[in-house]
Amino acid sequence: MGERLDIQKTYKLFIGGAFPRSESGRTTEVVAADGSFVANVAKASRKDLRDAVKAARGAQSDWAGRTAYNRGQILYRMAEVMEGRRSQFEVELVTCGSSAADAAAELDEAIDLWVWYAGWCDKFQQVVGTVNPVAGPFFNFTVPEPTGVVGVVAPEQPSLAGLIARLAPVLVSGNTAVVIPSEVAPLSAISLSETIATSDVPGGVINMLTGPKLDLLPWLLGHLDVNAVDLTGAPTDLDPAVLDEAVGNVKRVIRRDPADRGPYAITDFCEMKTIWHPIGR
């Protein structure tokens, strides 16, 4: 018997909990740092993006309707499952050009981010919510709610930790997400999808669309059922005509340093709801 031939992986999209190829049938070739072939990554089309938004919308009310405790446990489960598969992620990061030490450090960071945000699920409301001392006989309080479906344009680097730094705060409050991962290093995003699919995250809560950001962005910004878009990982010199697409439904357009973590990274994707009720006998 000769040397064993290794199994090459087909890197597909992640939509509604399933792993379809792009309906367009198109792919982009990813090569390793040494120039050798690694994989054909699916090149998402406008139709794929619409399917992903539909899946995200379909999953949103259930995700938001779960208890904060439950969402926290599911995000923590992401950390548990990633921890067990960290060597796979490290190999992929190294394939895409990271040093082994950088890859290991990025995995530490990526996994700890899930833990950090898992803990926020049932706490940020107490930090940013208020009971308001209005001048009248009313009980009045303000609570954060998820804005709905959020498009996340993940930073190019670090491709895994950067993606999680922007995705996790979106999920904390009960939003669902359509993610456009790093173009230069998309492999770990696909493997992350496989982790998501086995971590109790309901189908449709996170959807992953690999492909050229500049192709996907106008469709994402123009989609009327997307409530907010995180442009942190998008070029800063975007054509204003592309940004114009966002005003069709008054999208919340966010950019925030991925290193800036905490309740405000969560409330970027929240709406504040204020409720009044009279006090009387």
Q: Which is nearer to other proteins, 18 or 254 (CB)?
A: 254
Q: How far apart are CA 174 and CA 71, in angstroms?
A: 8
Judged by CB under 8 A, the chain residues 134 through 173 that form the site for other proteins are 134-136, 138, 140, 142, 147
- Of 4-12, 95-103, 175-183, 243-251, which part binds other proteins (CB under 8 A)? 243-251
Q: Where are the beta strands (DSSP E) in the chain?
A: 27-31, 37-42, 130-131, 138-146, 149-153, 176-180, 206-208, 228-230, 252-254, 270-278
Provide, rounded to whole angstroms, the least separation between the CB of residue 58 and other proteins.
15
What is the separation of C-alpha 159 from the centre of its chain, rounded to a whole number of angstroms? Answer: 12
Q: Which is nearer to other proteins, 47 or 255 (CB)?
A: 255
Asked if 243 interacts with other proteins (CB under 8 A), we say yes
Among 252, 266, 269, 281, binds other proteins (CB under 8 A): 252
Provide, rounded to whole angstroms, the least separation between the CB of residue 47 and other proteins.
24
Q: Give 214's contacts (C-beta < 8 A, 6+ positions apart).
A: 235
Provide, rounded to whole angstroms, the least separation between the CB of residue 223 and other proteins.
14
Q: Which is nearer to other proteins, 19 or 116 (CB)?
A: 116
Neighbours of 203 (CB within 10 A): 16
Asked if 31 interacts with other proteins (CB under 8 A), we say no
Q: How far apart are CA 169 and CA 117, in angstroms?
A: 6
Provide, rounded to whole angstroms, the least separation between the CB of residue 138 and other proteins.
6
- Of 25-33, 82-90, 150-158, 249-257, which part binds other proteins (CB under 8 A)? 249-257
Query: How would you classify residue 244: left for phi > 0, otherwise alpha for psi between -120 and 50, otherwise beta?
Result: alpha
Residues 31-57: b if buried by 16+ CB within 10 A, e if exposed: eeeeeeebbbbbbbbbebbebbbbbbb
Among 116, 156, 197, 203, binds other proteins (CB under 8 A): 116
Q: Which is nearer to other proteins, 34 or 237 (CB)?
A: 237
Going by C-alpha positions, the residue among 104, 77, 62 that lies closest to residue 196 is 77
Asked if 67 interacts with other proteins (CB under 8 A), we say no
Interface positions with other proteins (CB under 8 A): 116, 127, 130, 132-136, 138, 140, 142, 147, 227, 240, 243-244, 246-250, 252-253, 259-262, 264, 271-278
